[in-house]
Amino acid sequence: MICRQEVEKRLRALRPQRLDDQYSGEAAVLMGIVERDEQPLFLLTRRTEEVATHKGQISFPGGIRASRDVSSSDTALRETREELGINPHSIQVVGEFHEYLAVTDHRVRCIVGYVSSEVDYRPQEREVAYVLEVPLEFFIETKPRVEQRFRQGRVQNVYFYDFNGETIWGLTARIIKDFVEFVSH
C-alpha cells in the first residue's frame, strides 16, 4: 500500500526530470489522488469525442497553460476546476513529478495533489464524458502491455492498462507507470 506520507517524502526528495526547450507549448495535469477507505485512487477522466485532442481517451485533468497562470500548479488546478468543478481549496498539492512531451508537442508538467474525498464531481459536459477512480494498487499489481510505435520522429514504447473495460494508454499510462515505479521501489 502506498501511503500519503511516503508519497510526500519521496516527492520532496525528487529532482523532477525536465525537458530541454524543444516543445511548442506548455501544459500541466493534476495527478489527483483520492483516498477512500484508506485506499489511494487515481482521479482520471474519459474525454468526450467533442474535445480538440485526445478524443475519448482516459486522462488526468489538465490542459494548456493560460497567460494568467503563474505556475504549473495554477494551470493544473484551474483546468481541474474547469473540467470537474473541483474547488482548488479541496486539493492539497504535495509536489511536482517529471515533465513529458505530449504528441501535441507540448511540455506537460505533472502536479501531484490529494483531492478531498468529500468533493462532488461536476464534469464539464463538452470535455468530460465521466470520471474514473482507479486504485493505485491496480497499477502496482498490473504490468502494462507495451507496443512500439513511431512517435515524435522515433520508435517509442507505448503503455496500455486495461481496467474494468477501459483502456488507459499513451502519455497517461506512461506517467502512471513511472509514478508507480517511483513510489513503490
pLDDT recorded at residue 131: 96
- Maximum distance among all Cα pairs of the chain, rounded to whole angstroms: 44
Q: Would the pTM count as exceeding 0.95?
A: no
Distance CA 103, CA 51 (A): 16
Q: Which residue has the cell 481549496?
A: 89
Q: What fold is seen in the domain 4-135?
A: Nucleoside Triphosphate Pyrophosphohydrolase (3.90.79)
Q: Would you mind telling me the total number of residues written for the chain in this entry?
A: 185
**Integer CA distances (angstroms), 93 to 14, 73, 139, in order:** 15, 8, 21
What does the pLDDT profile of the chain (185 residues) look like in tens digits? 688 999 999 999 999 999 887 787 899 999 999 999 989 999 999 988 676 666 678 999 999 999 999 999 999 999 999 999 999 999 999 999 999 988 888 899 999 999 999 999 999 999 999 999 999 999 999 999 999 988 767 788 999 999 999 999 999 999 999 999 999 87
Residue 31: is it exposed, middle or buried by C-beta count within 10 angstroms (0-12/13-18/19+)? buried
Where exactly are the structural domains of the chain?
4-135
